[in-house]
Amino acid sequence: MDNSWFKRGFALRDVKTAAGELFTVKTIREIADWLWEPFLVFAGFYLVAAAVAQPFYVPSGSMQPTIAIGDLLLATKYSYGYNRYSLPFAGGDTPKQRLFASLPQQGDVVVFRKPGNTAATLVKRVIGLPGDRVQMRGGRVWINGKELPLREDGIGRAEDGPTEAAPGSYFRTARFIETLPNGREHPIFKKAWGTEKSDTAEYVVPPDHLFVMGDNRDDSLDSRYPLEESGVGYLPVANVMGRAQVVVASVDFVNASGFWAWPLEFRVRRLLNRIH
């Protein structure tokens, strides 16, 4: 007599018994307790990143000399108020509402979602506010009919980014200090005069928008360039995610042979540098 079905029955009963022992209420509680702590840590970090500050990595050189390629900067979320973009990983079209809204000021370095491609996060300096008339004449910035003061500040070292002709190469370039209408000063790099966008028509900043530029003036696709030229165009205020405050770490990843060599390219001198 074939009693294999008895054996299969006993085997199935053994499996059910083992499963019952494994998934007791006590075991489930132990698993939940084990998962609860990492969940709280993640939730805490998420809430801090949404409400207080979030780190952002800079892979390009458009903000040199203020921000270097490979800088990890910290941007405060409470500086200009909150909307959907304040949440890490949130996407979608430009939000229409903003809680505790305040307008960035000329000279602020802001982190924002790029118009037309909100999956991309960029960092630039605010040059023009709503209603301002901004124009480039001979490589100099004019705001509301007045030329911004510019004084020489020696020679700086700029680095080519990973998508440029000589990635990781450093070259000497003229450094200047520019003064905005509100009296705030910031450094800029200027490779040459008479370059692209050195002379433009007058830009009139629309309501609820900003005019932003990179401090590396000849290597920045900013508000001087419309969206169809891969630029930023006029930046909606609602796209701003926060204000860049400090560099918390920096690695010259372009000159590293791989991520394992990043510790050898760590820039100690940039650690905790304030962003002005």
Q: Give me 110's structure tokens.
A: 């802001």
- Count helices and strands in the chain by DSSP H and E runs: 2, 15
- What residues are paired with 109 via a beta bridge? 125
Catalytic, out of 60, 62, 79, 220: 62
The sign of the torsion formed by the CA atoms of 45, 48, 51, 54 equals negative
Close Cβ partners of 89 (under 8 Å, ≥ 6 residues apart)? none
Side chain identity at 19, as an amino acid letter? A
Catalytic residue check, 62: yes
- Specify whether the CB–CB gap between 74 and 59 falls below 8 A: no
Residues 195 and 235: their CA atoms lie apart, in Å, by 23
Q: Give me 22's structure tokens.
A: 């494994």
Catalytic, out of 60, 79, 114, 124: 124
Instruction: Sort 181 into a burial class: Cβ within 10 Å, 0-12 / 13-18 / 19+.
Output: middle
Catalytic residue check, 191: no
Q: Give me 90's structure tokens.
A: 């949130």
Side chain identity at 252, as an amino acid letter? D
Pairing between strand 146-147 and 140-143? antiparallel
* Own/partner pairs, 13-19, CB within 8 angstroms, 24+ separation: none
Residues 246 and 190: their CA atoms lie apart, in Å, by 24
Number of residues written out for the chain: 276
**Residue positions annotated with a catalytic role:** 62, 124
